[in-house]
Amino acid sequence: MNGLQLSRMFFFEWGLPFLQQAFPQLVEQITAGTFNGSHTLEADDELSRDHTWGPRFALYLPTESVAHWKNPLEQALNTAAPQSFHGYQLALAWEKHVEIQAIDDFYQQEIGWSHPPNDVLDWLQSRVPAEEWIADSSRTREREYHLYMLRHGHIFHDPLGDFSARQKAFWSYPEDIWLLRIWQETFAIWHYGQYNFLDRLVHRQDPVAIALCLGYFVDAVMRLCLLLTRDYSPYWKWLAFVFRQLPIATELETSFHLLLETNDRKEQSRGVQEICHIVHSSLIEEQLVKKDAPNPTGHPHSLYVALPYILEHIKDKRISALFR
């Protein structure tokens, strides 16, 4: 039994009946589910069981109910919870079986907003200038990890529908922000693949630099593939697991192994070239780049040539102006 099945059973077989008996006035306004941990993605295994795994669920209340009900509800649930459930120990000594938050507070804590921003520029919020945000995709990923978990999290009980509505509202990026993320990961693939690996590192023969470069390259490729499905991308530890569920993974997996399981630089170079070709073809298929797009500068790298054409699709002139 995986952690998601166990958590769902724990709520419906123990949690919900307990609430109905002890807190009947809250049953019709409380949301239950799971939105964190490998078990939420069904990526858990035996090694996942050393922390935040087991019979557990989170509860979310409307903001106006939290101040009065959070402490007594949390205390009652964690005190009354059985020591084991279907033969599985609940939580480790320092962990809670059940956590309770206001819906607004949970979203604010996870992604910085309780509702989607009205102005698309608010998606560029950062403590650094927007130009740096755009140039460094790692600055966007922390929020994206949480957006991924919110989208793919599991709601067990939501009679008011507020949590479900918010999950749907954050289902994907606004169009122009999605295009920015496509640009960022395409830039990273070009930067680590065609520019640095093929033109520099193969000749310098620094094995540590090569290992780092290929890791970043594969990371960016997997994230771009997820973005092209209008999804977010998860924390690095679960990225490969999630990526393998995409149809394009079958085509790319062989090339990934070619890169990472050999020290033959010619074979690795062939793998990078093949992957960059697949990426470029995917951008064409999504109509983000034209097959025979002009190359006025004569640049030798197809992905570098593609970058300005991706930006042409951005409609908000305030965002386009950041690239001038």
The rounded distance, in Å, linking the Cα atoms of 216 and 192 is 7
Mean of the pLDDT values across residues 82-104?
74
User: Is residue 96 predicted with pLDDT exceeding 90?
Assistant: no
What is the number of other CB atoms lying within 10 angstroms of the CB of residue 92? 13
Using CA atoms, how far residue 22 sits from 12, 62, 80, 136, in Å, is 15, 19, 11, 50
The rounded distance, in Å, linking the Cα atoms of 161 and 165 is 6
pLDDT band with cut points at 50, 70 and 90 for residue 283: very high
Task: Quote the pTM value.
Answer: 0.91
- Tokens at 308, concatenated: 């300005």
Closest CA to 81 of 66, 99, 106, 103: 99
The rounded distance, in Å, linking the Cα atoms of 27 and 216 is 46
Contact (CB, 8 A) for 110 and 150: yes
- pLDDT tens column, 33-81: 999 888 888 877 666 565 666 788 899 999 999 989 999 998 898 888 8
**pLDDT for the residue 185:** 96
- Tokens at 205, concatenated: 């023969």
- pLDDT tens column, 99-153: 789 999 999 999 999 999 999 988 887 544 555 555 555 656 788 999 999 999 9
Three-class SS state of 32:
strand
The rounded distance, in Å, linking the Cα atoms of 60 and 70 is 9
Q: What angle do CA 139, 144, 145 make, to 5 degrees?
A: 105
> Token pair 């059940």 is at which residue?
98
